[in-house]
Structure 1
Amino acid sequence: MIIEIKVLYMSNFHSPINRNLKSISVISTLHKYLLIITLTVTIVNLSTCFNNCQIFGLELRNLIKK
């Protein structure tokens, strides 16, 4: 999970849009937002995965009971 965030963070850093921006402060502000967005997306993905795993686990338990 952490590696994924770092990769996305680095790819945003090297994007042409960021290279064209002259102000370092603007870039760093963008980075903070991009990193927060990435973290949020990752957390959402993890939580949905966790919910799916729970549902799958319940289905398995129901099958075993039968």
Structure 2
Amino acid sequence: MVRVVCVDATNSMALVVDKIYFAFPVNELKTAAYVSNFNRESAHFGCFQMKRFQVLEGSFEQLRWF
């Protein structure tokens, strides 16, 4: 889990610029993430490219892949 802030909400009705979200990586490349308002992956409301966000807290590199 990583805390992120949205910097690009272009063509998205789900994202709000400057709003803080929780992001959960989709794959090992860390180019996309499930995004949630809550610290729970199962509560995500969409999958978005990470270039839409700036990481505030945490790091995908710290996460373990199973």
Measured against the shorter chain, the TM-score band is under 0.3
TM-score (norm 2): 0.21
Higher helix proportion (structure 1 or 2): 1
